[in-house]
Structure 1
Amino acid sequence: MINDKVLGIILGGGQGSRLYPLTKNRSKPAVPIAGKYRLVDIPISNCINADIKRMYVLTQFNSASLNQHIKNTYHFSFFSSAFVDVLAAEQTMESDKWFQGTADAVRQSMHHFLEHDFKYALILSGDQLYNMDFRDMIAKHEESGAKISIATYPVNAKDATSFGILKTDENNTITSFIEKPNAELLPDWRSDVSDEMKGEGRNYLASMGIYIFNRELLVELMANPDTIDFGKEIIPQAIGEHKTMSYPYEGYWTDIGNIDSFFEANLGLTDDLPKFNLYDENRVYTRARILPTSKISNTKLNKTIIADGCIINAEKIEKSVIGIRSRIGKETIVTNTYMMGNDFYESLEDIKENNIENQVGIGDRCTINNCIIDKNCRIGDDTKINGGPHLEDIETETYQIKEGIVVVKKGAIIPKGTVI
């Protein structure tokens, strides 16, 4: 079944500089999460679970791996109108510029959208972790007679300065909006939220960057080339002119904006009752790889997620996410770490023939703590990596330290006996 009324538009974001070095060679939506998924799988899966199966993903930076992932993952019936297509920034007769902002990305791609029959455009971000029932949001949008609906999330005063903050009336109609307000302005922007949210000090309604636009209004708004961003221009200008509703959401949601939030979101999956639940009926879809089961020998595991195809001989792994095809050697201890895994297996014959000193993965007798290990890394025997606030921010050819988190770059070779 396909919801023919809705077209999904997923914004891939800009250069992703705050997630660097994970975005050095890939776009933000293509960054691996939870050991086997990509960030873009989250909005796509939320759409599929709501029977929205016509989607465009807009991107302009390092889109090759994203293209490959989507091409290899989202196959629908030949006899269906369902699709997930990547639209990269392109020069046209109307524009020779790259996307200048979120609204400009949609504007430059409108000629592709308008080839399809749809009533509502569902505009999403490609770098958020959440599980939302879009069917309910669309139903509320229709019932209210709104022209625009914005999903909103209660945040505390500290976080409020990083979001678009809005106020509503008793009918959830949005009456005012301010983008990233200064702290001294916040007292005037408190909202009436649930008692649970009040108890957590989350008194401000933030825009989640999830919008529903009626088709006719979207076409009208996109006709003005001077407005390039939804949060800064389109939404503030539309309020008062067009009926704009808030869709309150109080489930788990996080904006994967920087290395710290990315690290926290992934390690949070190891909790006994994780806030983002991968184990319910609202499935997260990804590429169906034909990998063997993971093999674990003499290893103590605690609060750890292990993906398919791993070979693990470690002494202990605790509060860590271990991605596909990972290899971890003997007497190694891994804690508070996200290891993304590998894109390939390496045989002993390959290692010998190519005179490779470090096998892909983590070697023997290593100690790894507070670390993100990107794909296809080679960490030699007896390496000690101990991330934490005692470390200063620094970047080398093979790793970067950000806010105490050691990020080993994709494909890096860390020689035997290295200490970080």
Structure 2
Amino acid sequence: MNNKAISIILGGGQGSRLYPLTATRSKPAVPIAGKYRLVDIPISNCLNSDIKRMFVLTQFNSASLNKHIKHTYQFSYFSDAFVDVLAAEQTPENKGWFQGTADAVRQSLHHFKNYESEYVLILSGDQLYHMDFNKMIEAHEASGAELSIATLPVDAKAATSFGILKADHQQWIEKFIEKPDDSLLPDWTSEVSEEMKQQDRHYLASMGIYLFNKQLLIDVLNASDADDFGKAIIPKCVEENKVLSYEYTGYWTDIGNIDYFFEANLDLTRTLPQFNLFDNKNSVFTRPRVLPPTKVSGTQLDRSLLAEGSIIEAERIEDSIIGVRSRIGKSTVIKRSYVMGNNRFESQKSLDECEAKNVPKMGVGDHCHIENCIIDKNARVGNNVTIIGTHEKGEQETASYVIKEGIVVIKNAAVIPDGTTI
């Protein structure tokens, strides 16, 4: 086990840009790829890097996240490994909610500052990437840096959407700007690898991944009441401390809104996805489930992921993800969609009650057409339902669904009656 570092995973705020997926859960608890949660990504990266002491800071809608972590990351009693959830709490010193990323870590300092470690690795709970943090630690130590920031080379078009760091030829960060205007970009190019130069990716975007010398983190948080790392703490450190850019050139995406979330998931269905789930060196860990294999009857499948425990009788499923315990009815067509599945199997008693009340079963019924759609967990989509997401429909919200960025999102446990067209 790597005892040099402990990891702090930020649970995020209200996650309003991912609404309605965050209506009943925190951002890190949102399901991805049919069987995982977003928080599994940073935790798995830590475990694959042999960093096995982690704290997850939570605040909003944290019940499902807490349950997932409790049931997933159980280590031997003879090991020092742990994943502990730290919820916002009132103390004599802090009587309010977390006000930002830095404030969350500041209010939680007393929980982890006495653990034996040289470094604190701060991660976001809503990003999709593979990274070996040992290489980042090695670069940090070799340089003598006090803080290292993982940076992603981006082109001019993307640079205006990120915090941009300017680094010299030795990768020391000289200055920082948040989402620069196009007119300022010529002054913010940095030395990047030849491969990145050939792709015109001359700007270093902050990935929100920070490796602090532990004492520096404690000192800078105690000396300031600033709430946010990106807006206040990092610029201050760049001015006063030795801050290194650790250039990362692999796949990384910030799953901050519905469109990014949707496309990141559908990309997993490609023959060669940018984020590879089939990689022994970069396993993604999650809750072990005792579920039967998925049963498929008469369905044409193309470029799709099927999680376990599902019963599928659809006519065709393409470019889609079908989550755990899903039920897809006969003669149904699903294209470019993410069906998250269900938290449980329905009992025969429940099925009989639904039939008596004319309520659809959990899952997707017969003779449906689903396209450009996310169906959240435990939703009930009846028979002969058509749901097609398009930009022409604009932004909408009803009691059972939301339309955002041309994507229809069926809410958690929503009921869509037979014959509905959206």
- Scaled to the shorter chain, the TM-score interval is over 0.9
Give the one of 331, 347, 361 matched to 1:359: 361
Is the Cα contact below 8 Å between 2:327 and 2:364 reproduced in 1? yes
Alignment partner, residue 323 of structure 1: 323
Matched residues in 1 for 2:413 and 2:114: separation? 41
The TM-score normalised by the length of structure 1 is 0.98
What does 1:95-114 correspond to in 2, within 5 Å?
95-114=94-113
Alignment partner, residue 373 of structure 1: 375
Alignment partner, residue 248 of structure 2: 249
Is 1:288 matched up with 2:288?
yes
Matched residues in 1 for 2:84 and 2:182: separation? 40
Tell me the alpha carbon deviations over residues 241-286 of structure 1, each in whole angstroms, 9 at most, x when there is no partner: 2111011001010000100000000000000000000001110000
Matched residues in 1 for 2:223 and 2:160: separation? 28
Tell me the alpha carbon deviations over residues 279-306 of structure 1, each in whole angstroms, 9 at most, x when there is no partner: 0111000000010000000000000000
Alignment partner, residue 6 of structure 1: 5
AA in 2 matched with 1:358: P
1:222 alignment partner, SS class: helix
Matched residues in 1 for 2:195 and 2:371: separation? 34
Tell me the alpha carbon deviations over residues 183-224 of structure 1, each in whole angstroms, 9 at most, x when there is no partner: 221221122333443444432110000000001111110112
Alignment partner, residue 216 of structure 1: 215
Matched residues in 1 for 2:295 and 2:205: separation? 44
1:86 alignment partner, SS class: strand
Matched residues in 2 for 1:195 and 1:164: separation? 22
Q: Which moved more, 1:383-392 or 1:316-325?
A: 383-392
Alignment partner, residue 406 of structure 1: 408
Q: Percent identity at matched positions?
A: 63
Give the one of 377, 384, 387 matched to 1:385: 387
What does 1:17-416 correspond to in 2, within 5 Å?
17-281=16-280, 282-354=282-354, 355-356=356-357, 357-416=359-418
Matched residues in 1 for 2:93 and 2:347: separation? 52
The TM-score normalised by the length of structure 2 is 0.97
Matched residues in 2 for 1:6 and 1:200: separation? 34
Is the Cα contact below 8 Å between 2:168 and 2:190 reproduced in 1? no
Alpha-carbon shift at residue 308 of structure 1 (Å): 0.4
Tell me the alpha carbon deviations over residues 354-374 of structure 1, each in whole angstroms, 9 at most, x when there is no partner: 535211000000000000000
AA in 1 matched with 2:115: H
1:103 alignment partner, SS class: helix
Matched residues in 1 for 2:208 and 2:68: separation? 24
Tell me the alpha carbon deviations over residues 300-329 of structure 1, each in whole angstroms, 9 at most, x when there is no partner: 000000000010000000000100000000
- Deviating beyond 6 angstroms after TM superposition, the runs of 4 or more aligned structure 1 residues are none
Alpha-carbon shift at residue 100 of structure 1 (Å): 1.2
How many residues align structurally? 419
From the superposition, tell whether residues 174 and 400 of structure 1 become closer, same or farther in structure 2 (CA, over 3 Å).
Answer: same
Is the Cα contact below 8 Å between 2:342 and 2:377 reproduced in 1? yes
AA in 2 matched with 1:319: D
Is the Cα contact below 8 Å between 2:171 and 2:191 reproduced in 1? no
Matched residues in 2 for 1:249 and 1:255: separation? 14
Matched residues in 2 for 1:169 and 1:255: separation? 26
Matched residues in 2 for 1:246 and 1:195: separation? 16
Alpha-carbon shift at residue 129 of structure 1 (Å): 0.2
AA in 2 matched with 1:340: M
Q: Which moved more, 1:345-354 or 1:96-105?
A: 345-354
Is the Cα contact below 8 Å between 2:153 and 2:204 reproduced in 1? yes
